[in-house]
Amino acid sequence: MTQMSYMEAIRDGMRVEMKRDSGVYIAGEDVAQFGGCFGVTAGLYDEFGPDRVMNTPISEAVIVGHAVGAAALGLRPIAEIMFVDFMGCCMDELHNQAAKMKYMFGGKAKVPMVVRTPCGAGLGAAAQHSQCLESWFTHIAGVKTVMPGTAADAKGLMIAAIRDDNPVMYIEHKQLLGLTGDVPDGEYVVPLGKADIKREGSDVTIVAWSWMLQKSLAAAEKLAAEGINVEVLDPRTLVPLDKDAILKSVSKTGKLVIVHEEIKTSGFGGEISAIVAEEGFDYLDAPIKRVAAPDTPIPFSPILEQTFIPSEEKIIEAVKALF
């Protein structure tokens, strides 16, 4: 175990795989000597050289698109898109190409690529640099979507994402980059599709990921002081989704609150609600609640942005409303 930040853990995951497999390389804007816009790839250029850590021009379509071609020929690219908001500039390469190649080719193709990209609000970066868009990707059959909420998961999921033979969206959160935690050394793999109970409890289940996992854990502490014992479940990957773990937790607690930073309408909370309504209706003794951002773009002014982001208070309020 080593204490490290979420950012160092992402990097460590990439490093472990780059050492193990010479087909793994990183391509993106300013990822080389500069170390990436947020510093996530810092040092990797020095360690692995210009052939494995490559700056690209500002050309998102080719960052993701070339990864599709290279992956189809057996390489394992890690394509960095500087902000998840820029995925609109390379969406065809993901949703019509990477995602469908294997299927359309009757199984005769493999696209083992990772798109690494940060999401999230709270930096005053406004409407085009602050979004959470995970349900864009979960809506594409053929793509996996990974959203680590702790340092250890950041590493373990990165290794699993690189080893996976499918296109994987690996979405890290800007607010978590500095979060530290104990991270297992070496080849630590967190399998895709396996949820983790981050806090055990018996009264209510909160399902939350990424930054909202941390907010939910903090809210759970406060609720414990008021006598409400919250179970916090982190799905860690949205596709594949560990349905069984969610249903099992709800069968124990009888109550479900889903927390996400995406806007509410068509957010992934709707999907989880539907699954529990379809397959776990009998477990519920209260309506399912969703805490999510409002259906607006993200405003620049800090006072408006703070109102936009789902807060600990809103989570606490939603939980209490069930009792």
Ligand X SMILES: Cc1ncc(C[n+]2csc(CCOP(=O)(O)OP(=O)(O)O)c2C)c(N)n1
Contacts of 132 (CB under 8 A, 6+ apart): 84, 119, 120, 121, 171, 210, 260, 261, 262, 293
Residues 276-305 binding other proteins (CB under 8 A) are: 294-297, 299-304
Q: Which does 224 bind (CB under 5 to 8 A by kind): other proteins, ligand X, none?
A: none
Q: Mapping DSSP to helix (H, G, I), strand (E, B) and coil, where does residue 234 land?
A: strand
Q: Closer to other proteins at the Cβ: 22 or 301?
A: 301
- For β-strands 76-80 and 196-199, DSSP reports them as unpaired
Give, in order, the Cα–Cα distances in Å from 29 to each of 61, 86, 171, 193.
Answer: 12, 12, 16, 30
Residue 13: closest CA among 76, 74, 57, 66: 76
Q: Which residues bind ligand X (CB under 6 A)?
A: 29, 58, 60, 82, 86, 89
Question: Any catalytic annotation for residue 129?
Answer: yes
CB of 65 to other proteins, least distance (A): 10
CA–CA separation, 87 vs 93, rounded Å? 10
Give, in order, the Cα–Cα distances in Å from 71 to each of 78, 111, 225.
Answer: 10, 5, 51
Q: Closer to other proteins at the Cβ: 49 or 88?
A: 88
CB of 60 to ligand X, least distance (A): 6
Beta bridge mates, 234: 196
Residue 204 near residue 257, CB atoms below 8 Å: yes
Residues 34-73 binding other proteins (CB under 8 A) are: 34, 37, 55, 57-61
Residue corresponding to tokens 């609000």: 121
CB of 159 to other proteins, least distance (A): 28
Q: Which does 123 bind (CB under 5 to 8 A by kind): ligand X, other proteins, none?
A: other proteins
Q: Closer to ligand X at the Cβ: 61 or 141?
A: 61
Residues 71-130 binding other proteins (CB under 8 A) are: 85-86, 88-89, 123-129
Residues 203-222 binding other proteins (CB under 8 A) are: none
Residue 215 near residue 306, CB atoms below 8 Å: no
The size of the interface with other proteins (CB under 8 A), counted in residues, is 34
Q: Closer to ligand X at the Cβ: 123 or 218?
A: 123
Contacts of 295 (CB under 8 A, 6+ apart): 263, 264, 265
From 66, 95, 129, 173, active-site residue: 129
Q: Which does 126 bind (CB under 5 to 8 A by kind): ligand X, other proteins, none?
A: other proteins
CB of 208 to other proteins, least distance (A): 22
CB of 157 to ligand X, least distance (A): 25
Chain-centre distance of CA 311, in angstroms? 19
* 282: its two tokens: 């009998």
Q: Closer to ligand X at the Cβ: 60 or 134?
A: 60
Q: Closer to ligand X at the Cβ: 29 or 305?
A: 29
Q: Which does 266 bind (CB under 5 to 8 A by kind): other proteins, ligand X, none?
A: none
What is the b/e burial string over 148-162, where b = at least 16 CB atoms within 10 angstroms of the residue's CB?
A: bbbbbbbbbbbbbbb
Which residues in this chain contact other proteins in the complex, by CB under 8 A?
29-30, 33-34, 37, 55, 57-61, 85-86, 88-89, 123-129, 294-297, 299-304, 307-308
Residues annotated as catalytic (active site), given as ranges: 129
